[in-house]
C-alpha cells in the first residue's frame, strides 16, 4: 500500500521537475533571444555611421621602434664680407721701405681679426623659447594640441622623427583578456578594431563582462572620422552600454568643424586636435610613432577630449618602461598614467601601456573608477592585420 501511494507522489515530483526545467530553458532562451536582438540593433540608428566589418588576417610581426632623428649640425660660420682694399698713392708706394714679405695677405688679415664667433648649439637651444613639440615643418599649419613637459630642457628641443616615412597602418584588431573587480571578481573579453578605408577611419572598443552569449555588462565605444597630417579628426562618437536586466543606454558626441555637440544638446567650441574616448588611443599611437621622443619618462602629455557630457583636458604622466607579460612573451611597454585631481568621481580613467615593438599599440589598458571598481585588459595574442 505504501509503495502504491509513493508512486503517484514520485510521478508528481518528476512532472514538477520537468515543468521547472522547461520554464528554466524558456527563460534562458528568452534571455539569449533578447541579447541577440539587442546586438542586432541597427548601428545606423540616430545618425550613427554603419560599422565596417572586417575579416582577420595574419598576426603582426615585432619590429624595432624608430630611433629619434639626430639633431642637425650647427650652421657653419659665415665670414664677413671683405672690406674694399684701398690703393696707396703712387708717390707713397714708390717711397715705401717696408719689405714685401712683411705685408700681410688679405686672408691673414681676416684670420688675425675674426668676426664674433657664432653661438654654440647648446647656447642656441638655451636662448630659444620652449615650444610644444610638433610633428614636422610640413604640418606647421595645423598645430598639435599636445603639451610635453620634459624633465630636462634638452628633451623639449628634440627633433621630430619618422615624419617622412610614416604610413597609416592597415586595419588592425587587438584582442584582450578582461579581469577586474565589481562587487567581486569579474572576467570577460575586449577588442579594439582600427579600421581604415582610404582617408576615413573607425575605431571600435568593445568590452564584455561575463559570458559572451549572456554578458553581465557590455559597452561599445566607436569613433568615426577622417585622417589628416595632424592625426585623427573625429566627426562622431557613440557609446552603448547594457547591464543585465536593465535597459540599454546610449550617448553620442558630434564633432563639427567649428563646434562640438554634446549628448545633452550643449554646443561648445571645438579646440584644435580634440579627440574622443575611443580615438585617443590611436591618436597617441600616431604621435609616438612620429615623435618617439615624446615617450621620455618623466614627461607629461595633455590631450583635449570631447566626452559625452563635457569637454575635458586629460593629463598623462609618462612612466618608466616595464615588461608586460603576455601569453606570447614579455613585451616592453611604456605606461601613461592619467592624473585624477580634476576628475569627477563618476568618470573613469585609463592607464595605457604602449609597446614600441608592436608599432606603439596598447598592450594593456586598465580602466578604473576607484580602488574597488576596475577592469584590466591584457593583450592575449599578437595584433591581427585585418582585411
Render each residue's pLDDT in the chain as its tens digit; 387 residues.
545 555 556 556 565 555 454 444 444 434 433 443 343 333 334 677 887 776 666 666 667 665 554 545 555 655 555 655 554 444 443 344 334 344 344 343 333 333 444 444 333 333 333 333 333 333 333 334 445 443 433 333 344 443 445 677 789 999 999 999 988 999 999 999 999 999 999 999 999 999 888 899 999 999 999 999 889 999 999 999 999 889 999 999 999 999 999 999 999 999 999 999 999 999 999 999 999 999 999 999 999 999 999 998 989 999 999 999 999 999 999 999 998 654 555 567 889 999 999 999 999 999 888 778 899 999 999 999 887
Predicted pLDDT at 163: 41
pLDDT, position 348: 73
DSSP character at residue 334: E
Please give the Cα distance from 300 to 312 (Å, whole number): 16
The residues pairing with 175 across neighbouring beta strands, listed in sequence order, are: 191
In the prediction, which pLDDT does 116 show? 43
List, in order of start, the domains of the chain with CATH numbers. 164-386 (2.50.20)
User: How many angstroms separate the CA atoms of 20 and 15, rounded?
Assistant: 9
CA distance 189 to 174: 11
Q: Is the distance from CB of 224 to CB of 204 less than 8 angstroms?
A: no
C-alpha distances out from residue 187 to 209, 307, 342, Å: 6, 27, 30
**Pairing outcome for strands 172-181 and 374-379:** antiparallel
Judge if pTM exceeds 0.85.
no
Please, what is the Cα angle at 296 between 166 and 71, to 5 degrees? Answer: 60
Query: Which residues sit opposite 178 in a β-bridge?
Result: 188, 377
| Alpha-helical segments (H) within the chain | 2-39, 90-95, 106-112, 121-127, 153-156, 279-290
Amino acid at each position: 500500500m505504501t509503495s502504491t501511494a509513493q508512486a503517484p507522489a514520485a510521478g508528481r515530483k518528476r512532472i514538477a521537475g520537468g515543468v521547472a526545467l522547461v520554464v528554466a530553458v524558456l527563460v534562458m532562451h528568452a534571455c539569449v533571444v533578447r541579447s541577440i536582438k539587442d546586438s542586432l540593433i541597427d548601428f545606423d540608428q540616430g545618425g550613427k555611421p554603419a560599422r565596417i566589418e572586417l575579416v582577420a588576417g595574419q598576426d603582426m610581426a615585432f619590429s624595432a621602434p624608430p630611433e629619434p632623428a639626430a639633431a642637425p649640425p650647427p650652421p657653419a660660420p659665415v665670414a664677413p664680407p671683405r672690406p674694399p682694399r684701398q690703393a696707396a698713392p703712387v708717390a707713397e708706394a714708390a717711397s715705401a721701405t717696408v719689405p714685401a714679405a712683411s705685408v700681410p695677405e688679405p686672408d691673414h688679415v681676416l684670420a688675425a681679426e675674426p668676426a664674433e664667433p657664432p653661438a654654440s648649439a647648446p647656447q642656441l637651444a638655451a636662448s630659444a623659447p620652449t615650444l610644444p613639440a610638433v610633428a614636422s615643418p610640413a604640418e606647421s599649419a595645423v598645430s598639435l594640441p599636445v603639451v610635453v613637459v620634459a624633465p630636462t630642457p634638452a628633451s623639449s628641443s628634440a627633433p621630430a622623427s619618422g615624419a617622412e616615412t610614416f604610413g597609416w597602418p592597415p586595419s588592425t584588431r587587438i584582442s584582450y583578456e578582461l579581469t577586474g573587480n565589481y562587487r567581486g571578481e569579474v572576467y570577460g573579453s575586449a577588442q579594439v578594431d582600427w579600421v581604415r578605408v582610404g582617408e576615413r577611419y573607425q575605431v571600435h572598443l568593445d568590452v564584455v563582462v561575463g559570458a559572451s552569449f549572456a554578458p553581465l555588462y557590455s559597452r561599445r565605444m566607436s569613433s568615426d572620422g577622417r585622417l589628416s597630417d595632424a592625426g585623427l579628426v573625429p566627426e562622431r562618437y557613440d557609446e552603448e552600454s547594457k547591464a543585465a536586466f536593465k535597459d540599454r543606454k546610449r550617448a553620442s558626441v558630434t564633432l563639427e568643424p567649428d563646434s562640438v555637440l554634446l549628448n545633452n544638446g550643449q554646443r561648445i567650441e571645438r579646440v584644435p586636435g580634440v579627440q574622443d574616448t575611443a580615438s585617443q588611443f590611436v591618436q597617441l599611437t600616431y604621435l609616438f610613432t612620429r615623435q618617439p621622443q615624446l615617450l621620455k619618462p618623466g614627461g607629461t602629455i595633455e590631450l583635449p577630449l570631447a566626452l559625452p557630457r563635457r569637454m575635458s583636458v586629460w593629463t598623462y604622466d609618462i612612466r618608466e618602461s616595464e615588461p608586460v607579460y603576455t601569453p606570447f612573451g614579455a613585451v616592453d611597454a611604456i605606461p601613461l598614467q592619467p592624473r585624477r585631481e580634476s576628475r569627477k568621481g563618476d568618470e573613469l580613467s585609463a592607464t595605457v601601456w604602449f609597446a614600441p615593438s608592436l608599432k606603439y599599440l596598447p598592450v594593456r589598458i586598465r580602466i578604473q573608477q576607484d580602488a574597488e571598481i576596475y577592469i584590466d585588459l591584457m593583450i592575449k595574442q599578437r595584433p591581427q592585420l585585418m582585411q
